[in-house]
Chain A
């Protein structure tokens, strides 16, 4: 699997062939707090870069999860829908949100590296 890349909306992407795995970052989960509801997309759904793809809710509020990359969903992670709290425990590991078949690897290449993302979070605290 490729190195993880990051978006400004706090999603991460890793790539294996032309299938990308997308989740939300640890930093995002820390901002959200306790996650209590997750909705993941069904296979076959087309998503656009920066388009709404999933939903995550904490005790405080509901937030959209955007796809940092366009493509067609191949799988939503049903395990996190059944156990939303697992997103807090391992957001950048087993608790990925969805996988999709990508159209344009350039979109992946243009995302931030880990170092760039860490710097971005530091400069944009919220």
Chain B
């Protein structure tokens, strides 16, 4: 398959981006400032992220569309208000997570933001449940820009009046340059911010404005350190088809009503797990000292029994210490439990930690 590029590819190049292949796209891993500076400037000012590789999947239909989607998504879509968003997932028959996503109710149906690496399969999986009168479109004419950080609201309000009134996980249509664009107050960094769905033809102009307001471009490298400090999962690492929401410590994302009445893929299994707990569970991990426990690092109990493995690990620039997430046997998941991490054949101490590592500052 040919490597794909987002509409901003040349723009990134001119900004000094270093590219890496990611989910079939050439994406910036970092710019000239480097990961730590990009991370810090997002937390202290604002940064923008080109996340146009993610799928913007639109669905239209009558009420039967809700029934169809609720078979694979355990959110309460019936009671989701127009312009409100939820974090949820696509589940397989075993309750495993096919992808994690953000679903927003639109006037005519729903918009689902899908992970780039998963989007084609996701659409296949969703389509199994769709009826003939349900229309769907993966819109590749749209870019998706995340603007994140404490100054985001002040800056974007100057350009698009009214965005400051949006609350976390809600969105609205706005007019920009004679075109419609859709803005949600959301993101994946633990900061206040927005995701802006904008046509490929207008996106450069938006970025010009952001840069003129000292908003830095942020690559995938800092996106990873930011989301990990915020305790957020990365699909393909912390989540996959063999992990269910209970194990992933994401049962909060299954709607209360759906936990009671089910009716979605994997419900039998998940019902049982909700009642009895799972054997393993996702936890936060803080290594002692400076050692970084990266993905696949083995986790041992203090009496040297292997109890799990790391799924994401890096240095957290705002925490100013290494941070990690992983799965351990549930009896070792209590916060403060001492553990050992095997890095390069040597065991280092660490502790099960609260998530997030960095306190979120959403506007609710």
A59 near B315: Cβ-Cβ < 8 Å: yes
Partner of A33, one of B34, B292, B294, B344: B34
B35 near A81: Cβ-Cβ < 8 Å: no
- Alpha-carbon distance A21/B258, docked complex (angstroms): 64
Lowest 5 CB-CB distances: which A-B pairs, in order? A36-B315, A34-B36, A59-B35, A37-B290, A33-B34
Partner of B344, one of A34, A55, A59, A81: A55
Asked if B221 is an interface residue, CB under 8 A from chain A, the answer is yes
Q: How far is the CB of B220 from chain A (nearest CB, A)?
A: 10
Q: Which of A57-71 contact B (CB under 8 A)?
A: 57-60, 62
Q: Which residues of B contact A34 (CB under 8 A)?
A: 34-37, 315, 317
Q: Which of A13-72 contact B (CB under 8 A)?
A: 33-34, 36-37, 39, 55, 57-60, 62
Asked if A76 is an interface residue, CB under 8 A from chain B, the answer is no
When each residue 14-34 of chain B gets 1 if its CB lies under 8 Å from chain A and 0 otherwise, what string results?
000000000000000110001
Q: Which of B31-48 contact A (CB under 8 A)?
A: 34-37
Q: How far is the CB of A27 from chain B (nearest CB, A)?
A: 15
Asked if A91 is an interface residue, CB under 8 A from chain B, the answer is no
Q: Give the B-binding residues of A (Cβ under 8 A).
A: 33-34, 36-37, 39, 55, 57-60, 62, 81, 84
Q: Which residues of B contact A36 (CB under 8 A)?
A: 36, 290, 292, 315, 322
Q: How far is the CB of A89 from chain B (nearest CB, A)?
A: 13
Q: Which of B226-253 contact A (CB under 8 A)?
A: none
The size of the chain B interface, using a CB distance under 8 A, is 17
Most chain B CB inside 10 Å of its own CB: which residue of A34, A39, A55, A84? A34
Q: Which of B298-326 contact A (CB under 8 A)?
A: 314-315, 317, 322
- Alpha-carbon distance A62/B322, docked complex (angstroms): 13
- Alpha-carbon distance A33/B294, docked complex (angstroms): 17
Q: Which residues of B contact A55 (CB under 8 A)?
A: 344
A59 near B290: Cβ-Cβ < 8 Å: no
B35 near A37: Cβ-Cβ < 8 Å: no
A62 near B292: Cβ-Cβ < 8 Å: yes
- Alpha-carbon distance A62/B294, docked complex (angstroms): 9
Asked if B225 is an interface residue, CB under 8 A from chain A, the answer is yes
- Alpha-carbon distance A60/B295, docked complex (angstroms): 12
Asked if B291 is an interface residue, CB under 8 A from chain A, the answer is yes
- Alpha-carbon distance A37/B341, docked complex (angstroms): 15
A59-B225, A59-B315 are contacts. A33–B290 as well, Cβ < 8 Å? no
Q: Which of B314-364 contact A (CB under 8 A)?
A: 314-315, 317, 322, 344
| Complex A-B: 6 CB contacts under 8 Å | A36-B292, A59-B34, A59-B315, A60-B29, A60-B35, A62-B294
Q: How far is the CB of A16 from chain B (nearest CB, A)?
A: 30
Q: How far is the CB of A23 from chain B (nearest CB, A)?
A: 19
Q: Which residues of A contact B30 (CB under 8 A)?
A: 33
